Amino acid sequence: MEGDDDMAVEQTEHALQEGVNPVEIVKQAIVPGIERTGELWKDNVYFMPDVVLSTEAFKMAMSVVEPTLSEIETDKTGRFVMGVVAGDMHDLGKSIVIAMLTGAGFEVIDLGVDVPTEVFIEKAQSLNPDIMGVGCYMTTTMLELKDVMRKLKENGLRDKLKVMIGGVPTTQTFADEIGADAWGKDALDAAEKAKKIMGV
Ligand code: B12
């Protein structure tokens, strides 16, 4: 939370060496850490540089635990392709959602940030995901979500996958308006709804 990435790596390695279940490390330490950062940001205790430092520590800790997560998750819940809309570089929310989905047993393919609509379409075709997650973090990039939905339909892909959306300016009402299958309030909500979609 305090952005000490060396310590984040050391503590994660230490927990793994001690035999702590990697899913529990994500659920009980790494995710709560970044969620607390989000709360401190909301309460005006943390400023943007603090948030950026916390993210770096979050990512470093995740990089230690991720290889072990994919080793133990042999029985996948489903395939989830995730990306952030064009023009939007925010990736903290996406990283947390990916961590939670991985913990829930999904095979997650991360398309990254600033993803053009065409790439979402191309990946929907080539990767054949069960669910496509689209993140959007600014009011100025919300129209891109509509564009992704429209192009999925135009390319005959809409009935082949479920679409989940999320990010600060999005709401359930907006999700309904653009015809998304689900909206995730936070990472936990996202993982629960994704599991529900898969019937788990
Ligand atoms: C950190 C941050 C940054 C960092 C990003 C670092 C990074 N690696 O991501 C930096 C400093 C780089 C940054 C840059 C900018 N930012 Co900024 N940023 C933020 C800030 C403070 C926090 C966002 C965040 O990470 N929150 C914490 C995460 C954990 O929460 P979350 O994103 O909501 O995600 C949760 C849920 O939404 C959900 N979820 C998220 N994604 C998904 C996806 C799916 C599919 C589902 C189901 C659920 C889900 O689960 C997540 C976990 O619980 C917000 C303020 C705010 N209150 O949000 C502004 C904010 C988003 N930024 C803003 C702006 C304007 C910018 C800049 C344009 C600033 C500038 N002038 O340069 C640039 C944009 C660059 C670009 N093109 O994208 C504005 C957007 C305003 C608007 N129009 O809507 C905000 C709202 C700040 C403000 N009040 O003005 N930013």
Same domain, 136 and 187: yes
Per DSSP, 43 falls in state: T
Domain-terminating residue out of 46, 72, 98: 72
Same domain, 14 and 104: no
| Predicted pLDDT of residue 96 | 77
| Predicted pLDDT of residue 18 | 97
| Predicted pLDDT of residue 123 | 98
Residue 52 CA: nearest ligand 1 atom is 6
Tokens representing 126?
């080539």
From ligand 1's centre to the CA of 88, what distance in Å? 9
126 by DSSP, 3-state: which? helix
CB of 52 sitting under 6 A from ligand 1: yes
Same domain, 177 and 120: yes
CB of 174 sitting under 6 A from ligand 1: no
From ligand 1's centre to the CA of 97, what distance in Å? 14
- Which sign, positive or negative, has the C-alpha torsion 53, 41, 66, 121? negative
Same domain, 53 and 92: no
Is the entire prediction scored with pTM above 0.75?
Answer: yes
| Predicted pLDDT of residue 93 | 85
Same domain, 33 and 10: yes
Same domain, 94 and 18: no
What b/e string do you get for 52-91 counting C-beta neighbours within 10 Å, with b at 16 or more? ebbbebbbbbbebbbeebeeebeeebbbbbbbbbbebebb
| Predicted pLDDT of residue 73 | 52
For residue 43, give its domain range: 5-72
Per DSSP, 19 falls in state: T
| Predicted pLDDT of residue 104 | 75
Same domain, 67 and 85: no
Same domain, 62 and 83: no
What pLDDT, in 10s, does the model give residues 72-93?
555 578 999 999 999 999 988 8
- Which sign, positive or negative, has the C-alpha torsion 163, 166, 170, 172? positive
**Pairing, β 182-184 against β 162-166:** parallel
Residue 170 CA: nearest ligand 1 atom is 37
Residuewise pLDDT in 10s, the chain (200 residues): 999 999 999 999 999 999 999 888 988 998 888 878 878 988 999 998 898 898 889 889 988 987 887 665 555 789 999 999 999 999 888 987 887 787 677 889 999 999 999 999 999 999 999 999 999 999 999 999 999 999 999 999 999 999 999 999 999 999 999 999 999 998 778 988 999 999 98
Domain-terminating residue out of 44, 72, 100: 72
From ligand 1's centre to the CA of 199, what distance in Å? 31
How many domains in the chain?
2
Q: Which residue, judged by its Cα, is nearest atom 36 of ligand 1?
A: 186
From ligand 1's centre to the CA of 43, what distance in Å? 15
Q: Which residue, judged by its Cα, is nearest atom 5 of ligand 1?
A: 90
Query: How far is the C-alpha of 33 from the C-alpha of 30, rounded, in Å?
Result: 5
Same domain, 142 and 193: yes
From ligand 1's centre to the CA of 55, what distance in Å? 12
Same domain, 83 and 109: yes
Residue 96 CA: nearest ligand 1 atom is 52
